[in-house]
Structure formats: structure tokens, C-alpha cells
């Protein structure tokens, strides 16, 4: 059932068009495949004419591949089309939906707890906490600092990326993956960090 996801795509159609998202197209293809799987060929053809043909100008190869399933049953052993009837595409759709959702709202795919732990542990000089001792986190960035998200989900300091863009004609680079894109393609990250260690007087970092 992809009706809810398609409704969400419709609500954000303008933003998806700007980012050239393929999510709606992939959802439509999967809905078409489910009709073919159910042997509802007439309904599948009508569905394709209404919802898939408009995508032909930009996704003709993928469209032709899926439309060819009308000549096969869901139990086909033809490898090229058998994979389209399997359940793995649903898992891929779920992952793609999460990616688009996070990108749209400036979130990260990686759990925030994991990000906080990585940031905290990377600042430790020893693998443990203890009560008492000198505090080393007073000058670390907190929630007031601005962060920006790359299309691939990596988060960086907005200030640093702005400086990079000013020096490179508006382009920025993800230092982890090598992805290069326009600064205007980035989205602001709304991350609220509770720096427990830094603000709790009973804990200090060794």
C-alpha cells in the first residue's frame, strides 16, 4: 500500500521537482507491479497510461523495463523480470522514502544518539567518565551552533561550508565521500543537542 506515501509526495511536489526526486516514480512503478502480480492486466494498463506514461520523457528506460512485465507472470523464472516481482524492492522503497524524508526536513539518516556518541567519544582522552577532575568540554560546540546537511546525509558546520563556498564559487565538498555540490543544494539541520556532560557539575571528562 503506497497511497499514503503518494499523498505525501503530492503535498511536496514542488520541492521534489526542484530536487529531481524519483520517489514518486518508484512508488508508481511498484503499484503497477502489484497490479501485474495480481493478474489485473487491464487495470495495470490503465494505471500505466494514467500515472506512468507522463514519466516517459525522463525515465523511458526504466519505464520500458517495468511495462514489459505485462508479458510475464509473477512466477516467471526470467531473471531480468523475476527480480521485479520479488519483495526486495519494497525494502529499497522504504529506504528511499526515509532518505527523501530526511533530506526534505534537514534530518540525518544516522540515529542522532549515534552522532552524539561519536562526537562525545571523539573528544575523550580516555574511554571512561568519572566524577571530579578538570572539565574539558566548556569550549565545545553546543546547540547554538548551526549545522547543514549534504544530499548524502553528512552534517557539517554551516559556517565552515559557507566559507568553503565563498572560496570556490558556490561549491562545497563532503570531505568524507568526496561529493561536490552547490551550497544552495544543502539544507539546514535542526538538531537539538543536550550536552549532558558539559552542563552536569557532577561529571568531568578525563
pLDDT tens digits, residue range 8-55?
Answer: 989 988 888 888 888 999 999 999 999 999 999 999 999 999 999 988
pLDDT tens for 115-158 read: 777 777 666 555 455 555 555 555 555 545 678 888 888 888 88
**122-155 CB burial, b ≥16 within 10 A, e <16:** eeeeeeeeeeeeeeebeeeeeeeeebbbbeeebb
The contacts of residue 171 (CB under 8 Å, 6+ apart) are 164, 165, 180, 181, 182, 183
200 half-sphere exposure, CB direction, 13 A CA radius = 12
Q: Which three cell numbers stand for residue 189?
A: 539541520
Of the candidates 168, 164, 146, the residue with the CA atom closest to the CA atom of residue 155 = 146
**pLDDT score of 127:** 46
pLDDT tens for 50-100 read: 999 988 888 898 889 999 999 988 888 898 889 889 888 888 888 889 888
CA 206 vs. chain centroid, Å, equals: 36
**pLDDT score of 124:** 59
pTM: 0.52
CA 124 vs. chain centroid, Å, equals: 30
User: What residue ranges of the chain are covered by domains with CATH 3.30.40?
Assistant: 112-205
Of the candidates 39, 33, 71, the residue with the CA atom closest to the CA atom of residue 52 = 33
Higher pLDDT, residue 192 or 122: 122
* Second CATH level (architecture) for the domain 112-205: 2-Layer Sandwich (3.30)
Rg (CA), the chain: 23
DSSP bridge pairs for 180: 173
**pLDDT score of 69:** 92
In three-state secondary structure terms, 2 is coil
**pLDDT score of 61:** 86
Cα 151 from Cα 158, distance rounded (Å): 14
Q: Please report the beta strands in the chain, taking only residues with DSSP state E, as ranges in sequence order.
A: 129-130, 147-149, 155-157, 171-173, 180-182, 187-189, 204-205
Q: What is the DSSP letter of 69?
A: G
Amino acid at each position: 500500500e503506497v497511497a499514503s506515501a503518494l499523498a505525501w509526495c503530492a503535498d511536496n511536489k514542488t520541492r521534489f521537482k526542484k530536487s529531481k526526486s524519483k520517489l514518486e516514480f518508484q512508488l508508481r512503478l511498484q503499484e503497477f507491479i502489484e497490479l501485474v502480480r495480481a493478474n489485473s492486466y487491464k487495470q495495470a494498463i490503465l494505471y500505466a497510461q494514467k500515472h506512468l506514461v507522463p514519466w516517459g520523457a525522463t525515465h523511458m528506460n526504466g519505464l520500458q523495463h517495468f511495462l514489459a512485465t505485462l508479458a510475464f507472470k509473477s512466477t516467471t523464472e526470467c531473471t531480468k523480470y523475476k527480480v521485479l516481482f520479488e519483495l526486495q524492492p519494497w525494502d529499497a522503497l522504504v529506504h528511499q522514502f526515509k532518505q527523501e524524508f530526511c533530506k526534505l526536513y534537514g534530518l540525518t539518516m544516522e540515529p542522532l544518539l549515534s552522532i552524539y556518541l561519536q562526537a562525545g567519544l571523539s573528544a575523550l582522552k580516555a574511554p571512561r567518565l568519572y566524577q571530579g577532575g578538570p572539565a574539558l568540554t566548556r569550549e565545545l560546540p553546543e546547540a547554538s551552533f548551526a549545522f547543514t546537511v549534504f544530499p548524502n546525509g553528512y552534517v557539517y558546520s554551516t559556517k565552515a561550508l559557507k566559507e568553503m563556498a565563498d572560496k570556490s564559487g558556490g561549491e562545497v565538498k563532503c570531505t568524507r565521500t568526496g561529493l561536490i555540490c552547490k551550497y544552495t543544494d544543502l539544507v539546514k539541520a535542526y538538531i537539538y543537542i543536550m550536552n549532558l556532560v558539559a552542563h552536569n557539575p557532577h561529571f568531568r571528562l578525563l
